[in-house]
Amino acid sequence: MPIKNKIKEFITSKEITRYEFAKLTGVSKTTVYSLYDSPDILPLAAVLTKICDYYQVQPNDLMLWEPNTDQSPTAPQK
């Protein structure tokens, strides 16, 4: 999947635990642990909003788009 979450890197950069992150943001511990452990899991809009609201960050601080290397690029049709 070309879009991944960067929750692990974000939490690590704040030098807090996953538990603290969940408490601060109001996101469930289960969701935080899942996002932290699996970058392929994308947060729901409500979860993304809670995190962005608490930390006053943009969604792109929490998400990353990577080109899909399995497919060759194609030019858009005109």
Kindly report, residue by residue over 11-54, the tens digit of the pLDDT. 999 999 999 999 999 999 999 999 999 999 999 999 999 999 99
Residue ranges per structural domain of the chain: 3-63
> Which one of 1.10.287.110, 3.40.50.300, 1.10.260.40, 3.20.20.10 gives the CATH number of domain 3-63?
1.10.260.40
For residue 49, how far is the Cα from the chain centroid? 11
**CA–CA separation, 52 and 70 (whole Å):** 32
pLDDT above 60 (res 72): no
43-37-63-54 Cα dihedral, nearest 10 degrees: 70
**CA–CA separation, 59 and 51 (whole Å):** 9
Contact 22, 51 (CB under 8 A): no
